[in-house]
Structure 1
């Protein structure tokens, strides 16, 4: 297996999710973030002692954004041809079978240099064996190579 390219240390400025204002007080208020819009809202006006609002300053370094701790980026693989795409990018990406950790945006093409190969969730165990074998030949890392392939003891 090929190790990842050298990169600056991965630093997450914030790992806690931003909670919606007053979601801790009421069960009916879902914790998923919504921007406060009220004219008197203390959170919107950024008073001291209130919860933080998401802003551009919390963003992660562009060079390490979406990187896994191994230094690779995720790439969703559906068949062996997808693995062959990673032949020249095996130090940047790693293949994976499961659902992607990073939400993909419809309509936008993502560059190969930003992903880690993963095998898609719906790929059968027979195809997974073929994908793993081809990835081994090409020296491509598959992050969840044991998923749906090994049996429970």
Structure 2
């Protein structure tokens, strides 16, 4: 199987999720981030000791942005012809077969990817192994 080109180590500036201010006091609120809009909100006013708000500074390094832990970037695959776009970039991109592709086409795509030496991130999805009968 093809190996990714060696690049910089992927460093995340923040791995903790940004949570909604005071969500723990109200069970009906979800923890997912919402921007505080209150006039007197200490989070919006960025007081010391309050929760951090997401901003540009937490973005990933440009060289490692969008790279998966396997070292490849993702490229959507809908049919066998899409694999030919990855032949010259097979050490940079890995194909991801779309959710809407059925089992028969998936099998053909997986077979062709092996021939072309293209990595598939989800090559075995929706396929069952049938034992010899």
* Distance (Å, rounded) in 2 between the aligned partners of 1:135 and 1:120: 15
Provide the residue aligned with 1:49 in structure 2: 49
Provide the residue aligned with 1:73 in structure 2: 73
* Distance (Å, rounded) in 1 between the aligned partners of 2:44 and 2:14: 20
Provide the residue aligned with 2:92 in structure 1: 92
How much has 1:150 moved relative to structure 2?
2.3
Provide the residue aligned with 2:109 in structure 1: 131
How much has 1:151 moved relative to structure 2?
4.0
* Distance (Å, rounded) in 2 between the aligned partners of 1:11 and 1:152: 41
Cα deviation 1:100-139 (Å, max 9, x = unaligned): xxxxxxxxxxxxxxxxxx0011211111111011111111
Query: How many residue pairs were aligned?
Result: 131
* Unaligned stretches of 5+ residues in structure 1: 96-117
Q: TM-score, normalised by structure 2?
A: 0.91
* Distance (Å, rounded) in 2 between the aligned partners of 1:31 and 1:151: 40
Q: TM-score, normalised by structure 1?
A: 0.80
SS state at 2:100 partner: coil
| TM-aligned CA distance change 1:86 to 1:10, over 3 Å | same
* Distance (Å, rounded) in 1 between the aligned partners of 2:83 and 2:2: 14
Provide the residue aligned with 1:37 in structure 2: 37
SS state at 1:8 partner: coil
